[in-house]
Structure 1
Amino acid sequence: MRSAPAAPTSPRPNSRGDLSGIGLALLSAAASGTLGVWGKLALTLQLSTPTLLSWRFGLTALLLLALGSFRVPGRERLILLLLGLLYAATTAAYFTALTRISASTSALLVYVAPAFVILYGALSRTRPTRGQLGALACTLLGLSVVIGLPGAADRDVFGLLLGGLSGALYGAYLFASDRLAVRSSPLTVTAHVTLVSAVTFAAMGALGGNLGVPASLPQWGLVTLMVLIPTLVALPALAGAVQRIGAARVSLLASTDPLWAVLFATVFLGEVLGGAQVLGGLLILAGAACAQRPSRSARVRPLQLTSPARTAAECSDPRGS
C-alpha cells in the first residue's frame, strides 16, 4: 500500500556524506567499466553468457549467504527480489548487445540511464534540479554523438537498441533502489540481486542448452575476476552511493562508467577510438561534473512504498535525492 507523501524538507549540508557518496559512485563506475572486457574475453574463451553470469552471480550469492546478508523481514525481501529482476534484465540486455556491437559503445549506451531516472522522477512528481537538467543535456548530447556517428563495429541496429534498453532498465533499477531499498544495507541489496540474477541466467542457460561448468583455469579465472570486481566491489558501492546522495546524482556520476570502459577496451582489447567516441565521452564526463552542482531549492520526496512508521522516520532524514 502506498503511504502518504513525505512532508517537504530542505536538504541539510553533509559534505562528508556527499564526498563518500561521490567516491562510492565513481568506484562502482570504474569496477563496472571492466564488464565489457570480461564479456569479450568470455567469447574468446568460448564461455557462454549464461554460464559466465550464472556462476558469477551464484558464487557471490553463496558468499553473501555465508555472511548472513539474507536475514531480512519478508516484506523487505520481496522488494529486494523485485529489484534483482530489474538488475538481471539490465545485465541480460547489456551482454546480448555486447555480442553484436563493440564494448565501448555498449557501455556508452547503458548511460541513457540518467535520462530515465529523471523521467521516472518527473512521473512521480519530483522536479529535476538545474544541475540535473544541465547534466542530462550533456549526457544525451554525448550519447547522440556516439549513436549518430557509429563506427564500423557499431552498425547493428538491434545491438544498438539492446544497448538503449539496458540503459532504460538500469535507470529503473536505480530509481527503484532509491525509493524502495533506502534502509537496506548495500550487502543485503547485493545478496538478493545476485541470487535472482544467478537463478535467471541459470534458467536461461538450461532452456537454451548452453549452461555448463567452466572447464579450464582461464575460464575459472575469468569467473573469479567477475565475482570480485564488477560484483563484490561495484554493487555494494552502487547501493551505498544511492543511499548517500540519491539515484539521480548517482546515475549521472555513474555515466563515467563508459569512459572507464573505453579506456579498458583500448588497453586490453585493442579497440580503436573514433572521434565520435572521444567527443561523446567528454560530453558525458561534463554531464557527470555538472550533476554535482548543489541546488538552493528544496526538493520534495516522491511517494514511497513504506510503512507509516518508516515514513515518519524518513521525514527527519533528508538525503537530498
Structure 2
Amino acid sequence: MKGRWIGFVLVLLGASFWGVGGTVSQRLFQEDGVNVEWLVSVRLLISGIMMILLAILSKNRNKVFGIWTDKGAAVNLVIFGIFGMLAVQYTYMASINLGNAAVSTLLQYQAPAFIIIYFILSKKSNVTKKDVLTVLLALLGTFFLLTNGSINNLSVPSASVVWGVLSGIALAFYTLYAGPLLKKWGSLNVIGWAMIIGGTGLAIFNPPWKVTITNWNMGTLFFLIFVILFGTMFAFWFYLESLKYLKPQETSLLGSMEPLTAVLTSVLWLKIPFGAYQMAGGLIILLMVIYLSLAKENDSAVKKEMIEKAG
C-alpha cells in the first residue's frame, strides 16, 4: 500500500510539473523574449544528459551505451529522437508561444483520438462504439475550446491551433513508436538519449551559446531552471518511476493533471481569459482521456497504445 502511495505522489508531481512548465514557458516567451528554439534545445540537452546519468546509476547501466551497438535500435532511436521527442517538444512550445499553455496542452491531449484514427485507417483495428465516441468527444471538446461558443472567432491565433494539432499528432507518433525501444532498452535510457538527439538536432541550427539576454533578470533565470529541471527532467523521471508502483492505466489517468494544472496556472497566474465554453471543451477532452484510461484491457485492439505518454 505504501508503494502505491509513492506511485500516486510521483505521477501527480510529474504531471503537475509538466502542466506548470508549459505555463512558465509561456511567461518566458511572451514576457522575457526567450527564443522558442533556444529553450527547446537547451531543456532537451540538459534534461537528456541528466537522465542518462541516472540511467548509468541504475541496474540497467549496461544498456546505456549498448543500445548504440545494435544498428536497428540505434536507427530507431535517432528517428524517435527527431520525429518523436523533438517534434513533440517543439510543436508544443511553438503553440504556446503563439497562443497560451492552457489551449496548447489540451490540443496536445488529442493524441488518443489520432491514435484511434491511425489504427482505423491502417485497418489494424475495427471501428468500435468506443472509438467513435472518443473521436466525437475530441472534436466536440476542441470545437468549444477553440471557438468559446462563437465560430466567428478563435480563442487563440490560427497558427497556435496548427502547432497544437501537430503537437497532438507528434505525441501520437511518439507513443506508438517508442514501445519496442522502451521495452527492450529501458525508459530512462531511451528517453534520455532521445532528448540528447532531439536537442542536438535543433542546436545545429540554433546554437545554445547564441542567445540574447538583454531582457533577462533573476526571475527569468529562476523560471528557466524550473522549466529545464522540474518541467522536463523531474517530470519525466517521476512519471517513469511511478510505473514501478502503479498500472499504466492508473498513471495515464492521473497524468490528466497536466492539462488541469496548465489551465489553472494560466488562468490564476497569467490571467489568461478562459470562457465557459472553453472550460466545457477542456472538461470534455479530459473526460475523453479518463474514459480511455478506465477502459478494460480486453476492450479493443488499441487499448495498450491509448494514452500512455511513454514518459
TM-score of the superposed pair, with normalisation by structure 1? 0.73
Could you tell me how far apart the structure 2 residues matched to 1:199 and 1:90 are? 15
Deviation for aligned residue 1:284: 2.0
Secondary structure of the structure 2 residue equivalent to 1:73? helix
1:169 aligns with 2:170: yes
Secondary structure of the structure 2 residue equivalent to 1:291? helix
Give the 3 Å change call, closer, same or farther, for CA 114–58 of structure 1 in structure 2: same
Secondary structure of the structure 2 residue equivalent to 1:272? coil
Secondary structure of the structure 2 residue equivalent to 1:52? helix
Could you tell me how far apart the structure 2 residues matched to 1:261 and 1:299 are? 31
RMSD: 3.8
Give the 3 Å change call, closer, same or farther, for CA 296–167 of structure 1 in structure 2: closer
What are the superposed Cα offsets for residues 6-31 of structure 1, whole Å, 9 maximum, x if unpaired? xxxxxxxxx99999988766554322
Matched AA of 1:83: F
Q: Say which of 74, 92, 101 aligns to 1:103.
A: 101
Matched AA of 2:20: T
- Match in the other structure for 2:78: 81
Identity of aligned residues (%): 21
Could you tell me how far apart the structure 1 residues matched to 2:11 and 2:283 are? 18
Q: Is the 8 A contact 1:189 1:236 kept in 2?
A: no
Could you tell me how far apart the structure 2 residues matched to 1:105 and 1:225 are? 21
Give aligned pairs, total: 287
**Most deviating of 170-179 and 230-239:** 230-239
Describe how 1:1-321 pairs up with structure 2 within 5 A: 27-43=13-29, 44-67=31-54, 68=56, 70-74=64-68, 75=70, 76-85=73-82, 86-122=84-120, 123=122, 125-126=124-125, 134-149=133-148, 154-206=155-207, 211-212=210-211, 216-239=217-240, 254=255, 256-295=257-296, 297=298
- Match in the other structure for 1:312: none
Give the 3 Å change call, closer, same or farther, for CA 297–65 of structure 1 in structure 2: closer
Could you tell me how far apart the structure 2 residues matched to 1:89 and 1:296 are? 29
Secondary structure of the structure 1 residue equivalent to 2:185? coil
Could you tell me how far apart the structure 2 residues matched to 1:22 and 1:137 are? 30
Unaligned runs of 5+ in 1: 1-14, 303-318
Could you tell me how far apart the structure 1 residues matched to 2:49 and 2:206 are? 19
Q: Is the 8 A contact 2:96 2:160 kept in 1?
A: yes
What are the superposed Cα offsets for residues 129-167 of structure 1, whole Å, 9 maximum, x if unpaired? 765654444333212211233797734222211111111
Q: Is the 8 A contact 1:111 1:167 kept in 2?
A: yes
Deviation for aligned residue 1:91: 1.5
Deviation for aligned residue 1:82: 2.0
Give the 3 Å change call, closer, same or farther, for CA 16–254 of structure 1 in structure 2: same
What are the superposed Cα offsets for residues 241-260 of structure 1, whole Å, 9 maximum, x if unpaired? 789756x9876764553222
Could you tell me how far apart the structure 1 residues matched to 2:131 and 2:238 are? 21
Could you tell me how far apart the structure 1 residues matched to 2:254 and 2:119 are? 17
Could you tell me how far apart the structure 2 residues matched to 1:80 and 1:28 are? 24
Matched AA of 2:106: L
Deviation for aligned residue 1:33: 0.9
Matched AA of 1:276: Y
Matched AA of 1:141: L
Secondary structure of the structure 1 residue equivalent to 2:76? helix
Unaligned runs of 5+ in 2: none
TM-score of the superposed pair, with normalisation by structure 2? 0.75
Matched AA of 2:167: S
Could you tell me how far apart the structure 2 residues matched to 1:251 and 1:257 are? 11
Could you tell me how far apart the structure 2 residues matched to 1:292 and 1:228 are? 28
Give the 3 Å change call, closer, same or farther, for CA 117–263 of structure 1 in structure 2: same
Q: Is the 8 A contact 2:10 2:241 kept in 1?
A: yes
Deviation for aligned residue 1:233: 2.5
Matched AA of 1:89: A
**Most deviating of 267-276 and 69-78:** 69-78
What are the superposed Cα offsets for residues 250-288 of structure 1, whole Å, 9 maximum, x if unpaired? 767645532221011112211122112210122122223
Matched AA of 2:21: L
Could you tell me how far apart the structure 1 residues matched to 2:212 and 2:184 are? 36
